[in-house]
Amino acid sequence: MDKKEFLPILKTNSKNIRKKVLVCGDPGRADKIAEFLTEAEVISYNREYKLINGQYNQQPVSILSHGVGGPGAGVAFKELIKGGAEEIIRVGTAGSLSKKIKDGDLVIAAAAVRNDGLTEQLVDKSYPAVADWELVARLNRRAEALEIAISTGIVSTIAAFYPELEPLSNNYFSQAGVIAVEMEASALFVLASLNNVKAAAVLAVDGIAVDFDAESYNPHREKVSNAVEREIFLALEALTGED
């Protein structure tokens, strides 16, 4: 790969993409992750895509925000892969679909239901959206070592946040044993698998999504902020730390 390859949507060159990457939806959360790094530097900021490089555990790390939803996030994931990323962990939020998983808990996505609005245009719908097992195992081991409580299972990735004439699929997949719902994981997992890259996702639960009431949704609460800090720490440790 030409290390000077231009990545037009991220508005940067491939030489600026590190092998280990944390991705998140919100550019503000990218800034929050950067507080955990040393030598953090904003490399580029185009549309919703904010790229920050720095060091964690004396290892180079990139942080990239990807916005909301699979199609826009998929552009970012593809350009990260083109730029040379080898391990990508998404740190985001999700709604719980399980009675066992409460507001403020952490979830590790082992696989995802593919209703992301993107990947069926990239590969047949029968192709699974599965996280890299080594990264999932590393996240679980680091969580245990750090005494961070987590739940691991299948998540549902959806393209619609606010329902209209058609209901959301949250209740349906809750009955199928899916533990949480979010909007980007399946796009990440499919693109990573298609391109031989490792990917995983750790998600902070910011509400209960069974019988979801979008009007009462509020992710801007201390309990959620604390969960996000825990997931950032866990993801960085899993990405760079030794078992």
Q: List the structure tokens of 131.
A: 């996280």
Torsions phi, psi for 232 (to 5 deg): -60, -50
Q: Is 206 a catalytic residue?
A: yes
Reduced to 3 states (helix: H, G, I; strand: E, B; else coil), residue 206 is strand
Residue 35, C-beta contacts closer than 8 angstroms, at least 6 positions apart: none
Catalytic residue among 105, 116, 206, 211: 206
Biggest alpha carbon–alpha carbon distance for the chain: 51
Which residue do the tokens 């825990």 mark? 230
Q: 16-49 burial by CB neighbour count: b if 16+ within 10 A, else e?
A: bbbbbbbbbbbbebbbbbbebbeebeebbbeebb
Q: Which of the residues are catalytic? A: 206
